[in-house]
Chain A
């Protein structure tokens, strides 16, 4: 456990707020300017930042994040460069905010699992989320991450049966990422009616905080969910705002969602 993630949730809790886990794509529109986007997320109130590392074939992502990944790859983003050029600078500007790398397992495998875990820790990364690495395939990678002190955050899906969800939650590192909708990333006007019930179940079993993510983009959605989760993840809406209007728009959207998370 890095401990850093737990502290960030505790700080939000102490302020009477749900945590905002905010995602952006490293390298979109280029590496230096994505540092400004990450900084804006924190200024807008993000408690934890997910640093997206682009992959050529992102099967868990909808069109908005696919587009961001394409731009990042064109701009020359690689895992190595994100760890060397983005992470240290974001850490320098926002030393309190835990950073979690979000990418696909092939990017980590190509880099070398152990080499990644070590370098990530060195650069100040608190955890990682790999949406195409389900529990059955994650044992060895997680042991490597545990040894280095990097949290491998697991995901729970709407299709995950209750017993499986409880097992995932009990054994989690960092936090549990509850995928709100069966589908890919992207904004949704409506979240499934059984979501709060699923969140309650995972929360009861979890040894760490739980967050809801996928499809969330408004203050109102954040307000509804903050009764059932310790925080929410916002991704596509922030990526779109930053891409269309720049860091200020992403900062404003974070502040907006933060209002919904006040308890």
Chain B
């Protein structure tokens, strides 16, 4: 089963809703991408960099203590937190920066929320010697200070964006505005499976290495495909990456977890698949959080990477057609999951990733013993320690008061 119906369309979603100035650049990108994909030396180079530099394949780790504690399906973790720079984002930036170089582009721009995509872009630019400029909402610059330092250390220019909600959505607006004025020599590395065609396809393809590796690793580890795979959903790149290679496998349940923020009825969340309505944001038609007049609403999440009122068009299609199940986790549930995973498995997951873990227990129990649940561990939580510690000291365990 393919979700692609026409050029850049996933059912009703997708498309290319951008100023005319950008259309020729998107056509050029589409063509260059198709040519690169048809050229075996390109795939070989991407694979080489992922192996030598990123450290792929990432491992599939059994989560033994969580399995025992949750008392249901056997839980395994796909360890994107072990990829260089600490999240799945690098899979896409290596691919796109190599593509940009092939297209003869002289500079790179990107948007970032949590800063992981910004760091991954800055890293790929350092590796291949291209100048890099990263747009980041001013609020995110504050709450992801570690990643801001990392980007600057890697030689990137970080531009805080003061407009709107001062988060990812506004960073993306500003990156697009900048791209419009420098489009001839600049490549815009979009960090999620969102944006105008061909980005949702390009990002999904570069991220699909996650699911492709998982297929082989699952066979080797437990002799079959997983019964269910769960990933957190911001714009959708780690989810599309791990889930896409399994779309045709009807026996594999695909589950996305969105940011529930302060709760779905609080109006402060990032649950665009659950509560969004059809609209156009950042170049594609998808599900967006908006009011009745078509004004985009501010999202909220404790995790900057899920603090986005839109979602990639292919995920909207998978959710609307029922192929993917959608759940949500609140800020508090994600925080609790962060500590649970830290103490049970010795892994500090990113706050984004913690949302996927927060639904782990109920999914493991629903599936039951003898089944296999894979959680996509999209990134590590070092970047989030300031946010988390601001909420108080870690709860003590094993000590009676």
Q: Do A and B come from one complex?
A: yes
Contact-size category for B? 35 or more
Chain B residues with CB under 8 A of A137 = 15-17
Complex Cα gap A158–B283 (Å) = 19
B21 touches A182 (CB 8 A): yes
Complex Cα gap A73–B16 (Å) = 26
Chain B residues with CB under 8 A of A111 = 293-294
Q: How far is the CB of B287 from chain A (nearest CB, A)?
A: 12
Q: B193-237, CB under 8 A of A: which get 1 and which 0?
A: 000000000000000000000000000000000000000000000
Tell me whether A132 and B17 are in contact in the complex, defined as CB-CB below 8 angstroms, given that A106-B280, A159-B25 are known contacts: yes
Tell me whether A184 and B181 are in contact in the complex, defined as CB-CB below 8 angstroms, given that A106-B279, A159-B24 are known contacts: yes
Q: Total A-B pairs in contact (CB under 8 Å)?
A: 118
B21 touches A179 (CB 8 A): yes
Chain A residues with CB under 8 A of B180 = 59-60, 182-184
- State whether the Cβ of A62 lies closer than 8 Å to any Cβ in chain B: yes
- State whether the Cβ of B18 lies closer than 8 Å to any Cβ in chain A: yes
Chain B residues with CB under 8 A of A75 = none
Closest residue of chain A to B298 (Cβ to Cβ) is A56
Complex Cα gap A164–B25 (Å) = 13
Complex Cα gap A182–B288 (Å) = 28
Closest residue of chain B to A110 (Cβ to Cβ) is B294
B20 touches A179 (CB 8 A): yes
- State whether the Cβ of B4 lies closer than 8 Å to any Cβ in chain A: no
Q: B11-49, CB under 8 A of A: which get 1 and which 0?
A: 000011111111111000000000000000000000000
Complex Cα gap A164–B27 (Å) = 12
Tell me whether A59 and B279 are in contact in the complex, defined as CB-CB below 8 angstroms, given that A109-B294, A110-B290, A182-B180 are known contacts: no
Q: Quick one: which of B282, B283, B295, B296 has the most chain A CB within 10 A?
A: B295
A59 touches B294 (CB 8 A): no
A73 touches B294 (CB 8 A): no
- State whether the Cβ of B281 lies closer than 8 Å to any Cβ in chain A: yes
B296 touches A110 (CB 8 A): no
Chain B residues with CB under 8 A of A86 = none
Chain A residues with CB under 8 A of B25 = 159
Tell me whether A55 and B278 are in contact in the complex, defined as CB-CB below 8 angstroms, given that A137-B15, A182-B181, A184-B181 are known contacts: no
Chain B residues with CB under 8 A of A78 = 293
Complex Cα gap A159–B19 (Å) = 11
Prevailing SS type, chain A contact patch:
loop
Complex Cα gap A131–B22 (Å) = 11
Q: How far is the CB of A55 from chain B (nearest CB, A)?
A: 7
A136 touches B23 (CB 8 A): yes
Q: How far is the CB of A108 from chain B (nearest CB, A)?
A: 8
Chain B residues with CB under 8 A of A133 = 17
Chain B residues with CB under 8 A of A181 = 181
Closest residue of chain A to B277 (Cβ to Cβ) is A110
| Residues A130-150 near B (CB distance < 8 A) | 131-137
B279 touches A109 (CB 8 A): yes
- State whether the Cβ of B173 lies closer than 8 Å to any Cβ in chain A: yes
| Residues A195-249 near B (CB distance < 8 A) | none
Q: How far is the CB of A112 from chain B (nearest CB, A)?
A: 10
Measured CB to CB, the residues of B under 8 A from A are: 15-25, 163-164, 169-170, 173, 176-177, 180-184, 278-283, 288, 290, 292-296
Name 15 A/B residue pairs within 8 A (Cβ), A-sorted: A58-B173, A59-B177, A62-B177, A78-B293, A106-B290, A106-B294, A106-B296, A107-B294, A108-B294, A110-B292, A131-B20, A134-B23, A156-B20, A160-B21, A179-B20
